[in-house]
Amino acid sequence: MAPVKAFLGWPLVRQVMGADRLGRGHAAMSERSRGLAPRTTDADEVVDSICPYCAVGCAQKVFVKDGAVTQIEGSPASPISRGRLCPKGSASKQLVTSPTRVTKVRYRRPFGTDWEDLELDTAIDMIADRVIKTRKQFWEWEADGKRTRRTLGIASLGGATLDNEENYLMKKLYTAMGAIQIENQARI
Amino acid sequence: MPGLGTSFGRGGATTNLMDLQNSDCIVIQGSNMAEAHPVGFQWVVEATRRGATVIHVDPRFTRTSALADVHVPIRAGSDIAFLGALVNHVLSNDLDFREYVVAYTNAAAIIGEEFRDTEDLAGLFSGYDAESGSYDPESWQYVNAPQAPAAGQRDPAQPGGPHEERHRAARSETAGSGGPAVSAKPERDETLQHPRCVFQILKRHFARYTPEMVEQVCGVAPEQFAKVADALTSNSGRERTSAFCYAVGWTHHSVGVQKIRTASILQTLLGNIGRPGGGIMALRGHASIQGSTDIPTLFNILPGYLPMPHAHEHENLDDYVAGDAGSTGFWGNMRDYAVSLLKSYWGDAATADNDFCFDYLPRLTGNHGTYETVKGQIEGRCKGYFVVGENPTVGSGNGKMQRLGMANLDWLVVRDMQLIESATFWKDGPEIETGELATAEIGTEVFFLPAASHVEKAGSFTQTQRMLQWRDKAVEPPGDCQSELDFYHELGVRIRRKLAGSADEMDRPLLDLVWDYPRDEHGDVDGQAVLREINGTGPDGAALSSYTELKSDGSTACGCWIYCGVYADEVNQARRRKPHWEQDQVAAEWGWVWPANRRILYNRASAAPDGTPWSERKKYVWWDPEAGSWTGADVPDFIADRPPDHVPEDGATGPDALGGQDPFIMQTDGKAWLYVPVGLADGPMPTHYEPAESPVPNPLYPGQQGNPAIENIKTASNPMNPSLSEVFPFVFTSYRLTEHHTAGGMSRTLPYLSELQPEPFCEVSPGLARERGLEHLGWATIVTARTAIEARVLVTDRLRSLRLGDRTIEQVGLPYHWGPNGIVRGDAPNDLVGLALDPNVHIQDKVGTCDIRPGRRPRGPALTAYVADYRRRAGVVDPEEDS
């Protein structure tokens, strides 16, 4: 009987004899593919997000398992994107998991020829010291007899993938610092 | 932004992507929407399914063109001549929507006798000062305006001097929400016959922009022009509407603002603004470009397009408000917005007695834009630099200038997810290879701090149709990675701690700053608390629901007045996710749109002056006489209970001065501006000028080749190709591919995307390939006065040889995403770009001239010698000697 069973199990036979005449469903499955499931089905959590590339603002669903992103897909609910993502949005999981992503602080001392390690806490402290020093060094109360209350010693250039809340805190802090050369990709 | 801002009152897309499906005709120009905004393009496709005509005007045949009814190849940089001819076509054939034009625009306004047009002065407007290369707009005013421009717009210290003009230019972006102030409502001739009314001035200004001129300037045949003109005019009016879509193909030019202005004029004349299926869809290129100007990290504005104060004009809050608030329209309430911002910055320290700490704000004295700043770095005037989620050595124009600036800093902080070129320039930048810089001689201290990704932090982006959409946090950032929110908050905490106890007056703004934000269980700053501060709170501490609630007495605080309402009812409205299948087409309960969740701006104009819809087919917002209010599919962009026949009392100010037929409520006169009497640095009307580098003369104004008010960046590393040079005979233009993103930091580092587009290339026509001996899939070297780069050659009919009268023009197409780092690498095309800036927004031309030769570029010091030889042969002037 075994040869008959094997014969009946052939995809072509299943396609001809079964309901899946076009061979695009069950008829085409093997033992292995029958057991496969999308990695989205066993996610611990599905989180609503927005694509960070262009400004269309496609809605994303971020699938998380064991504290790691396992998949990012388009969210069908969005009236703008209706579930679609372009190649960049579809690849955006790799933004998070890219093999070349750097997750440790790197430091290059003046005239240094290579990167060095540095603790994050130390780095932020050093940056705070440098801001204070440069700010004072280039402080300007007046220009052409008019009050300016500023420093031209410190500048900033931000990308346009920053959140509104981030831009808000940046502009607020820089303005209080007296730094005015605060710019953004929006000009570039 | 000032292109739209000065025309309509707000510098945002007037419509939204979904509404494109209601268009009868869509013109896509200055954008390759199908490839650069693929998912948004589905709404163009929906429109074609409903019978719309789609027109793509672009130098290249792309996937956008493939799905359009008409593709019009055009010479890069010649858009104003093309659009201006459409304006002329409409005006000379009486094809404008006259009832709309008379009621809703400044067509009837009468301009002063002193005004002279470019037609009178061979390509210049009146008020030009050749020495400073800038305009005094005094003679551009409405007839009954005072002799001087609106108060506060002049610099009493240096009248007419370059200093003043620079400042005026720097002000343009304040039109992001609220048009520039004119001091009075203009005298009008409703018959549009007065020789000095805007309508007649406009008609004369564009009279020579004919189809024949279009052929000569743009390389577009008259039959093709006629096709576009017919499609557009036959699909505009009461029953039908047309939309325009543009992207950086318009903005990245030394006349970028005026390109958008020309489209604004055209769309206004056709009655397509504020109506379903109409409008101008500005396609922004990054997730939150719109947000980055609304809540700016830009030098010249504060949140909500309030101007940064200027040293010579704004010595106190009264000066500041008097100078910049229009007395009529919603900008008339500027004091409320400004005081509420100062309260959100300095809280209890800001009181009526101390001008709400107005003096804590640093002042501008001119252009402090990014390219001026880089020049300052090269000259040693700016020594500390934060580069945050940005890769200027690849993404900004003239990469060498960027690197030379960075090599001359004391310290540089780069925050990114990858070791981008801007972080490693000292080690492996192109100048290290050529020997122009040596690692051991660069004194810049570099901190690379790893950043959190978009799923590792919660926050909002403002996308291209002014919509804020909140992202929840999915996972914790790995290792040292941190959001900008946490980094800047922590930096502020430490700076304040280190300065605590300082008695120095310069430290007061830091020490008095409101900088106390709640943190979540991971110790991260709660972004929703920041969004709530942006939204604003009232005297009882509760979240406000509308900017009309803001007060100037210090009882309200608001971090960005145009975002007021995003946290209404203590709910994060940007986080709303009601599926589209549970809503109508407007989908008002998905995300939140500024202002006040209005999805189509100026939608009062979707109804006729009497308040009834223009037509049943284009019904959107209308007056309900029984309810005594405006109603319809969208939130009315108007005072809800102001009847259509309302005539304001004489002397009314602020919103009270708006009549029932003034749909452009942010403009001081309530009208769309066909002519901009104040607010732009390079003229009240658009004029065709050639790009700073062009292979052809300007046939419209033979004596005026380029934008007379152009801003040049004069530094040794920014030499410009002379126009009409035989050494640099071709046009180059740069653009995006679907599979990569801008300077590549977010795409050349991803294996999937790197595999899809592995190598830089240039696109050339078969004609150019023959002329220069370029081989398909071989190498080419592309040269400008700045440098030379190499790329693979793609010979394709997608780029056509264009006939301009008796000459042929060849264009070189350059996808600009590559740089020396990342998984896939190559030379950075932006290194070719010279900096000559639009005087309104200080943005560079992305077109220029070049040479192209077969083969790879020279290596090492031979490269600089090769480019120097080109400069010598072309007679390039050393920028520092050219004054």
Segment B812-823, tens digit of pLDDT: 999 999 999 999
Identify whether residues A75 and A130 lie together within a single domain: no
Minimal Cα distance from A91: which residue of B?
Answer: B752
Give whole-number Cα distances, B722 to A120, B607, B705, B728, B848, in Å: 49, 51, 11, 8, 10
Region A24-52 average pLDDT:
91
User: Within a domain: residue B166?
Assistant: no
Select the more confidently predicted residue: B310 or A25: B310
Spatial contact of B406 and B753, defined as CB atoms under 8 Å apart: no
Residue B749 has its nearest CB partner, among A67, A88, A98, at: A98
Set of chain B residues whose Cβ sits within 8 Å of the Cβ of A104 = 450, 479-480
* Cβ distance of A168 and B534 shorter than 8 Å: yes
**B730 belongs to a structural domain:** yes
Contact status, residue B328 vs residue B664, Cβ threshold 8 Å: no
Residue in chain A lying closest to B343 (CA): A172
Whether residue B311 and residue A148 make contact (CB cut-off 8 A), yes or no, is yes
Q: Under DSSP, is residue B112 helix (H, G, I), strand (E, B) or coil?
A: coil
> Which residue from B292, B445, B482 is facing A184, i.e. has the nearest CB?
B292
Task: Please count the structural domains in chain A.
Answer: 3
| pTM, full prediction | 0.95
Least CB–CB distance from B530: residue in A85, A169, A181: A169
Task: Provide, as residue numbers in chain B, all residues whose Cβ is less than 8 Å from the Cβ of A61.
Answer: none
Distance, in Å, from the CA atom of B462 to the CA atom of A163, rounded to the nearest integer, reads 8
DSSP per residue, B346-392: HGGG--GGGGGGGGGS--B-S---HHHHHHHHHTTS--EEEEES--H
What's the pLDDT at B164? 36
Tell which of B285, B306, B322 closes a domain. Answer: B285
Where a domain ends, among A97, A117, A133?
Answer: A97
Task: Tell me the residues of chain B between 471 and 510 that have a Cβ less than 8 Å away from chain A.
Answer: 471-476, 478-485, 487-492, 494-495, 498-499, 506, 509-510
Structure tokens at B768: 């150019």
A79 CB contacts (<8 Å, ≥6 apart)? B18, B580, B583, B585, B587, B590
Of the partner residues B289, B455, B580, the one whose CB lies closest to the CB of residue A78: B580
B59 part of a folded domain: yes
Q: Cβ–Cβ of A57/B464 closer than 8 Å?
A: yes
d(CA B637, CA B655): 13
Report whether pLDDT(B166) > 50: no
Contacts of A160 in chain B (CB under 8 A): 284-289, 291-292, 389
What pLDDT score does B882 carry? 57
Whether residue B726 lies inside any domain: the answer is yes
Assign B183 a pLDDT band (cuts: 50, 70, 90).
Answer: low
- At A134 the pLDDT is 98
Contact flag B476-A67 (C-beta cutoff 8 Å): yes
Query: Residue B88's domain spans which residues?
Result: 2-145+182-285
Amino acid sitting at position B805: G
Residue A39 lies in a domain: no
Chain A touched by B42 (CB under 8 Å):
yes
Q: Domain for residue B373, yes or no?
A: no
Is the CB of B480 less than 8 angstroms away from the CB of A132?
no
Which among B879, B814, B863 has a CA at the least distance from the CA of B394? Answer: B814
Q: Which two tokens stand for residue B294?
A: 């609304």
Is the predicted pLDDT of residue B173 greater than 60, yes or no? no
B32-41, B49-58, B519-528, B829-838: segment of lowest average pLDDT: B519-528
Q: B246 in a domain, yes or no?
A: yes
Tokens of B35: 């490839």
Both tokens assigned to B644: 């259509």
Beta bridge partners of B154: none
pLDDT classification of B155: cutoffs 50, 70, 90: very low
Q: Is some CB atom of chain B closer than 8 A to the CB atom of A57?
A: yes
B822: contact with A, CB 8 A cutoff: yes
Q: Contact, B313 vs B162, CB < 8 A?
A: no
**A1 pLDDT higher than 70:** no
Residue B563, chain A, CB below 8 Å: the answer is: yes
Q: Do A156 and A134 fall into the same domain?
A: yes
User: Which domain-ending residue is among B285, B302, B335?
Assistant: B285
Q: Would you say residue A180 has pLDDT above 60?
A: yes
| B579 within a domain of the structure (yes/no) | no
- Chains A, B: CB contacts within 8 A come to 490
Q: Residue B530: which pLDDT band, with cuts at 50, 70 and 90?
A: very high
Q: Which residues of B touch A180 (CB under 8 A)?
A: 299, 308, 362-364, 368
Specify burial of residue A177 (Cβ count, 10 A radius: 0-12, 13-18, 19+). buried
pLDDT tens for each residue of A99-112: 999 999 999 999 99
B853 pairs with which residues across the strands?
Answer: B781
* Least trusted range by pLDDT, from B249-253, B380-384, B791-795: B249-253
Question: Alpha carbon of A125 to those of A132, A167, B490, B496, B587: distances in Å?
Answer: 11, 21, 9, 12, 47
Asked if the C-beta of A117 comes within 8 angstroms of chain B's C-beta atoms, the answer is: no
Which among B397, B741, B750 is the nearest to A94, CB-wise?
A: B750
**B343 contacts chain A (CB < 8 A):** no
Per DSSP, the residues of B37-102 read STTTTHHHHHHHHTT-EEEEE-SB--HHHHTSSEEE---TT-HHHHHHHHHHHHHHTT-S-HHHHH
Whole-Å CA distances, A133 to A137, B409, B488, B489, B837: 6, 14, 18, 19, 33
For residues B382 and B73, what is the distance between their CA atoms, to the nearest angstrom?
44
The answer to whether B462 contacts chain A (CB < 8 Å) is: yes
Least confident of A169-178, B415-424, B435-444, B799-808: B799-808
Residue B38 confidence (pLDDT): 98
Distance, CA of B722 to CA of B737 (rounded, Å): 30
Asked if the structure places residue A114 within a domain, the reply is: yes
CB B183 within 8 A of CB B93: no
Handedness of CA B346, B352, B358, B360 (dihedral sign): negative
DSSP β-ladder status, B467-471 and B459-462 = antiparallel
The 10s digit of each residue's pLDDT in B569-620 is 999 999 999 999 999 999 999 999 999 999 999 999 999 999 999 999 999 9
Averaged pLDDT score across all residues of chain B: 93
| Phi, psi (degrees; rounded to nearest 5) at A60 | -120, 150
Q: Supply B300's token pair.
A: 């010249």
Q: Which residue of A has its CA nearest to B475?
A: A67
**Total domains, chain B:** 2
Share of chain B above pLDDT 90, in %: 89
A54 with B483: Cβ contact below 8 A: no
Which residues share a beta bridge with B712?
B836
- Residue A22: band (very low, low, confident or very high) from pLDDT cuts 50, 70, 90: confident
Cβ contact B880:B715 at 8 Å: yes
Q: Do B510 and A125 touch (CB under 8 A)?
A: no
Side chain identity at residue B351, one-letter code: T
pLDDT digits (tens, 9 = 90+) for A134-147: 999 999 999 999 99
Contacts of A124 (CB under 8 A, 6+ apart): B487, B490, B491, B494
The verdict on A68 and A129 lying in the same domain is no
Specify the DSSP element, H or E, that contains B631: strand B629-632
Q: What is the pLDDT of residue B332?
A: 83
CA–CA distance, A92 with A74 (Å, rounded to integer): 11
Q: Which residue has the tokens 């120009």?
A: B29
Q: Answer whether residue B181 shows pLDDT above 90.
A: no
CA distance A81 to A77: 8
Residue (of B476, B591, B617) closest to B531 by Cα position: B591
pLDDT tier, B167 (very low <50, low <70, confident <90, very high otherwise): very low
- Give yes or no: residues A178 and A119 share one domain: yes
* pLDDT over 80 (residue B257): yes
CA angle at residue A65 from B418 to A104, to 5 degrees? 25
Considering only the beta carbons, identify the residue of B292, B575, B590 that sits closest to A167: B292
Contact B793, B780 (CB under 8 A): yes
Q: Return the CATH number at B257.
A: 3.40.228.10
A170 within some domain: yes
Cα–Cα distance for residue pair B54/B830, rounded to 1 Å: 31
Contact criterion met (CB < 8 Å) for A52 and B417: no
Q: What is the CATH number of the domain that holds B732?
A: 2.40.40.20
The predicted model gives A65-94 an average pLDDT of: 98
Boundaries of domain holding A19: 2-34
Domain contains B735: yes
pLDDT tens for residues B385-397? 999 999 999 999 9
Question: Same domain for A136 and A177?
Answer: yes
Which residues in chain A have their CB less than 8 angstroms from residue B531's CB?
164-165
Q: Is the pLDDT of residue B235 over 60?
A: yes
Residue A40 belongs to some domain of the structure: no
- Nearest 5°: phi and psi at B427? -105, -45
Contact assessment for residue B367 and residue B833, using Cβ atoms and an 8 Å cutoff: no
Q: To the nearest whole percent, how much of chain B has pLDDT over 70? A: 94
Q: Is the pLDDT of residue B637 over 60?
A: yes
Chain-chain contact of A168 with B530 (C-beta, under 8 angstroms): yes
Contact of B15 with B634, CB cutoff 8 Å: no
Interface of B with A in 832-861 (CB under 8 A): 841-844
| Contacts A122 to B, Cβ<8 Å | none
- Asked if residues B790 and B761 have their Cβ atoms less than 8 Å apart, the reply is no
CB atoms within 10 A of CB B158: 14
**pLDDT higher than 70, residue B159:** no
- In chain A, the residue whose alpha carbon lies closest to the alpha carbon of B830 is A188
User: Tokens for B761?
Assistant: 């290339």
Each residue of B35-63: pLDDT tens digit?
999 999 999 999 999 999 999 999 999 99
Render pLDDT for B542-580 as a digit per residue (tens, 0 to 9): 999 999 999 999 999 999 999 999 999 999 999 999 999
Q: What is the pLDDT of residue B177?
A: 65
pLDDT the model gives residue A29: 85
Question: Looking at the complex, does the CB of residue A79 fall below 8 Å from at least one CB of chain B?
Answer: yes
Cβ-defined contact of A178 to B373 (cutoff 8 Å): no
Question: Distance, in angstroms, between A39 CA and closest chain B CA?
Answer: 16
